[in-house]
Structures are given as structure tokens and as C-alpha cells.
Amino acid sequence: MTSDYRCPFDNLLIVDLEATCDKDNFDYPPEIIQISVRVLNTREKVIREDLSFDKLIRPVINPKLTDYCVELTGIDQESIDKADTFPEVYDQFSAWLKEHDFQEKRFAFVCDTRQDMWRLAQYQFLLNKQPLPTIFRQWVNLGYHYEEDRRKAPVQDTWGPSLIEKMSGFYNIPFDGHAHNAKDDCAFLAKITKYLLDNGKLVTINESLKCISGMRNVPFTVDPEWKGNFESACKVFQAILPLVSTPTKRYFVEDYYGKCLYCFDATCTGLEHKQYPAYVYEQLKEPSDLAITAEITFFLFPPLPC
């Protein structure tokens, strides 16, 4: 155990997002319905139990939650109906960051995978027709640390089907609460982050969003049943979402923060698709509800003047 944490940030903000969903339909437009944030102060080496941000968010496009979503997240319809919409909650979150003096470049988000930032946050801001804020364009992906540690382990064990279950079993840290509820997931992920730091891990930005990536230059055959298969759906979304998530092995905050790590342009908003995947759209048996709902193609090809 080291005397100081190996982390260049004063605070790590562990974040988890939950969104609207439907069983066996991964093309269902995901609107964020819950955001939870826990704070790990890396200088004092503590999880701030006195400081957190937890909000439910009322969806607009599909205001009624599916039975599957209610069961998965534990969030009931009555609570959602009373919640504020995403723009209102995001303003509250921005005010919370300012109130507690969380300065850009001095904190980083921590997520369990790429899904929260690459898919959910990016998509929500596309729905709002707004550029993705700088703070969401780079983060710590805990899944990379878990996979690295697991490969080095003398015994390979599956532990469970979900990443949360796998990390809980592998690191021997119990999970308390309702799985897929952002508040409970976030509290657990904060413990995982502290465990890694306590054991000398370097915890810094290891994933970010780019406008162009080499992996998107390689055409692939779309699974005809992609809407019902999560991995197949992610391949489609990787092609059709304007910004793509890529591992980041070396990250220099002063040089890279707020910039697309492909074009290094701070004005790369993510509203224009610089690798438009026409071949993917051509293979779809039916249009993508996710793309149509966010008018992703509209950003790319606005209607011609009459």
C-alpha cells in the first residue's frame, strides 16, 4: 500500500446512469432517468459519505416506463412522474459541481464501462440537440482495471454474469442494494475505485471520445437480429453515434482536456458525423428507432431547400 494515491486528480467522481429500456430491444431510445455521483477525495483518501448527487429524471419521449425497466432499476412510475426533466437536472448538477468547487481538470469521472458516457450521455445530449459537454468526453473505465487484474490472477473464475457481480466476487467486496439502480451501483463502484487506489493502482483517464477512429473504417456485416442482441447492437451504435469510444493509454490533462483526441479540436461538438456509415444503414432491415428519435441523420443531411 502506498502513502499517496497514484492519481493526478484531486477528486474522482464516480458516476452511474440509468436509462429507459425495454426487454430484448436494444434499439429502444435510452433517455436518462437516474444519475448518481459519489465523491472520492484522493488527497484525503476517503469516500465522501457527506457529499453525493442523486436525482431521478423524467423522460420525455417515452414518459411511461416499461415493466421491464421498473423491475430492472427498481424505479417506480410515480417517482419518475414527479421528477424534473434532463435539462433541469443537468442545470442542478452543474450548480452542485460549482457549489462544491469541483473544477474542470481537477476531477475526473469514473464509470464501470464505456456505456454511461459513450452511449447514454452522448445520446441524451443528441436528443437535446446540444454538444456533449467537455466533462463527459473522458473518464476512468473501471472495467479495464478489472480485466487487467483478472488476467493476472492465478485462478480464473466467472463469479457472475454481470460486471458488477464479477468485480464483487473477484475483489471480495460485497454489493449492497438493487442492481441496476444508479445510487446502489455508484456506492459499490466507489468502493472498487478506493480498493484499486489503496493497492497502488494508477487511476487516471483511460478512455475518451473521438470523432474518428480506425476501428470504424473496417466494414462489418450487420447481424439481422441486432436489435435483440446487446453486443450486435453496440456494434451498430459504434458506427452510427457521432463520437466513438476508444481506449486512451496516455492522457495529459493540460494538453488533452476538452479536445477530441483525433482532431485535437476543442470545437469538435459531436453533432456532426465525420465517418458516416452509409453501409450500415443500407443493411438494416428496418430503420433504427434510436437514430431516428435523436434525428442523428438530420444533423448529417438536413433537408434540401425547396
CATH number at residue 268: 3.30.420.10
* Assigned domain for 125 exists: yes
Name the DSSP letter for residue 134: G
* Assigned domain for 296 exists: no
CA distance 80 to 31: 12
**Structure confidence at residue 302 (pLDDT):** 46
Q: Provide CB contacts within 8 A for 205, sequence distance 6+.
A: 108, 138, 139, 140, 248, 251, 253, 256
**Structure confidence at residue 193 (pLDDT):** 98
Name the DSSP letter for residue 34: E
Q: Provide CB contacts within 8 A for 295, sequence distance 6+.
A: 126, 129
Tell me the per-residue pLDDT of 162-210, one tens digit each, with 9 for 90 and over. Answer: 999 999 999 999 999 998 999 999 999 999 999 999 999 999 999 999 9
Rg (CA), the chain: 19
Q: Tell me which residue range forms the domain holding 70.
A: 11-217+244-274
Tell me the per-residue pLDDT of 109-152, one tens digit each, with 9 for 90 and over. Answer: 999 999 999 999 999 999 999 999 999 999 999 999 999 999 99
**Structure confidence at residue 154 (pLDDT):** 86
* Assigned domain for 304 exists: no
The DSSP-derived string for 207-255 is EEEES--GGGGS--PPPTTGGG-HHHHHHHHHHHSSSEEEE-S---HHH
**Structure confidence at residue 158 (pLDDT):** 72
Tell me the per-residue pLDDT of 225-248, one tens digit each, with 9 for 90 and over. Answer: 999 999 999 999 999 999 999 999
pLDDT at 259 > cutoff 50:
yes
* Assigned domain for 222 exists: no
202, 208, 213, 215: CA torsion to nearest 10: 60
* Assigned domain for 235 exists: no
* Assigned domain for 305 exists: no
Structurally, the chain folds into a number of domains equal to 1
Q: Which residue has the higher pLDDT, 1 or 58?
A: 58
Q: Which residue has the higher pLDDT, 87 or 266?
A: 87
pLDDT at 303 > cutoff 80:
no
Mean residue pLDDT of the chain comes to 93
DSSP strand pairing (138-141 vs 107-111) = parallel
**Structure confidence at residue 173 (pLDDT):** 96
* Assigned domain for 97 exists: yes
* Assigned domain for 250 exists: yes
Name the DSSP letter for residue 163: H
**Structure confidence at residue 306 (pLDDT):** 43
pTM tops 0.75: yes
24: left (phi over 0), alpha (psi -120 to 50) or beta: left
C-alpha cell at 106: 481537477
